[in-house]
C-alpha cells in the first residue's frame, strides 16, 4: 500500500510539474506532428530534444506516433522544434534523421528505415508568427461562418462544417474553405467532452488535436492545392467519429483511388449525397466511389 501511495504521489507530482512547464510558455499555441519512434526511451529522447524551458514542450505518443507540440510562436517555430527532434535521430513529417545518428540510436529505438526514408529531406523554414497582428479569437485569415453559431454539443456541428469545407474545395473557393476550416478549429475547443457518447469519447480525445492541426493548415493556407493536402486525413478522422457518434443523416466516405486503389494512396472525402461523384481535389475525372457509409434510417 505504501508503495502504491508513493507511485501515485510521483505521478501526481509529474502531472503538476508538466502543467507548470506548459503554463510558463507565453502566447502558446499547440500543434501536432507525426514523429517516428518505438519505445519509452524514444519518448524520453523525443520530448527532451523538443522541449525548451519557457519556449516549447513536446509530449510524444508511441501508440499513434504523434507529438503534441506547445510553443511560443514569437520565440520558435514548429519546424525548428522538429529539426531538433530529427537531429536527435527521429524522422518526422518535416525532416529525415541523419543515417549515422539513426544508426547510433539504441536498438530498441531503431524504428523501421522505411519510416526514416519516407520523411522529407528538407523543408522551407517557417517564420515566427507575429501574434499582435490579428485577433486571437480568429484562426489567422479565417472569418466566422454559420458553423460558429451551431450549438457545440455532440459532433453534428463538426460533420456539417466538414461537409461545407469539402463543398468549398469542390467549388475551388479557397477563401470559403479557409473560413469553414477556422470554424472547425474553434469548434473543437468549444465542445464539452461530456456531450460525446461513451463509444466515441476515446476516439474524440485522440483525434481532436489532429483535426485541429488539419483545420489550421487549411485555414492558414492561401493556396487551394495546399489546402487539399489536409483533406484526406481530416475526412478520415471525422468519418471515424461518425461511425461511433452517429450523424443525424446518412454520410458517405468517398475516394478517388490511385496506385492500385489501396487506401493509403487514396484521396478521401465525406458527403451527404451517395450519388455525388464530383471530387474536391480538382481532378477532372468523376473518380468518386463510395468506400464506406453510415446509413441513418
Closest CA to 239 of 183, 153, 166: 166
Q: What is the pLDDT along the chain (297 residues), one digit of tens a residue?
A: 444 343 334 334 333 334 444 458 888 888 888 899 888 899 999 999 999 999 999 999 888 788 999 988 889 888 899 999 999 999 988 888 888 998 898 888 888 765 665 565 554 444 444 434 334 344 444 688 999 999 999 999 999 999 999 999 999 999 999 999 999 998 998 998 899 999 999 999 989 988 988 898 898 887 899 999 999 999 999 999 999 999 999 999 999 866 444 444 579 999 999 988 889 999 887 788 899 999 998
Cβ neighbours for 29, distance < 8 A, ≥ 6 positions apart: 70, 71, 73
Cβ neighbours of residue 274 under 8 Å, at least 6 residues apart?
Answer: 250, 252, 290, 293
In 3-state terms, what secondary structure has residue 252? strand
pTM listed for this prediction: 0.56
Query: Grid coordinates standing for 217?
Result: 493548415
Q: Which domains does the chain have, with CATH numbers?
A: 23-121 (3.30.70.100), 146-294 (no CATH)
Burial class from Cβ neighbours inside 10 Å (0-12, 13-18, 19+) for residue 76 reads middle
Amino acid at each position: 500500500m505504501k508503495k502504491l501511495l508513493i507511485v501515485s504521489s510521483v505521478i501526481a507530482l509529474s502531472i503538476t510539474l508538466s502543467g507548470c512547464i506548459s503554463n510558463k510558455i507565453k502566447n502558446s499555441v499547440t500543434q501536432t506532428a507525426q514523429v517516428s519512434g518505438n519505445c519509452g526511451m524514444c519518448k524520453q529522447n523525443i520530448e527532451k530534444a523538443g522541449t525548451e524551458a519557457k519556449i516549447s514542450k513536446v509530449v510524444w505518443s508511441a501508440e499513434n506516433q504523434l507529438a503534441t507540440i506547445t510553443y511560443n510562436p514569437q520565440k520558435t517555430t514548429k519546424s525548428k522544434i522538429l529539426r531538433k527532434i530529427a537531429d536527435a535521430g527521429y524522422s518526422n513529417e518535416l525532416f529525415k534523421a541523419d543515417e549515422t545518428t539513426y544508426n547510433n540510436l539504441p536498438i530498441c529505438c531503431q524504428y523501421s528505415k522505411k519510416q526514416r526514408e519516407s520523411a522529407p529531406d528538407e523543408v522551407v523554414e517557417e517564420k515566427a508568427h507575429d501574434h499582435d497582428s490579428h485577433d486571437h479569437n480568429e484562426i489567422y485569415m479565417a472569418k466566422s461562418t454559420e458553423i460558429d453559431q451551431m450549438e457545440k454539443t455532440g459532433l453534428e456541428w463538426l460533420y456539417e462544417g466538414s461537409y461545407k469545407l469539402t463543398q468549398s474545395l469542390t467549388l475551388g473557393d479557397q477563401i470559403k474553405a479557409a473560413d469553414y476550416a477556422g470554424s472547425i478549429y474553434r469548434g473543437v475547443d468549444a465542445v464539452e467532452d461530456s456531450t460525446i457518447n461513451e463509444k466515441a469519447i476515446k476516439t474524440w480525445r485522440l483525434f481532436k488535436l489532429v483535426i485541429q492541426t488539419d483545420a489550421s493548415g487549411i485555414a492558414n493556407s492561401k493556396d487551394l492545392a495546399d489546402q487539399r493536402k489536409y483533406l484526406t486525413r481530416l475526412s478520415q478522422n471525422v468519418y471515424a467519429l461518425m461511425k461511433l457518434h452517429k450523424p443525424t443523416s446518412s454520410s458517405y466516405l468517398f475516394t478517388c483511388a490511385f496506385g492500385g486503389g489501396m487506401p493509403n494512396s487514396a484521396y478521401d472525402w465525406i458527403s451527404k449525397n451517395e450519388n455525388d461523384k464530383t471530387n474536391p481535389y480538382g481532378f477532372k475525372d468523376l473518380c468518386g466511389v463510395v468506400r464506406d457509409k453510415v446509413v441513418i434510417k
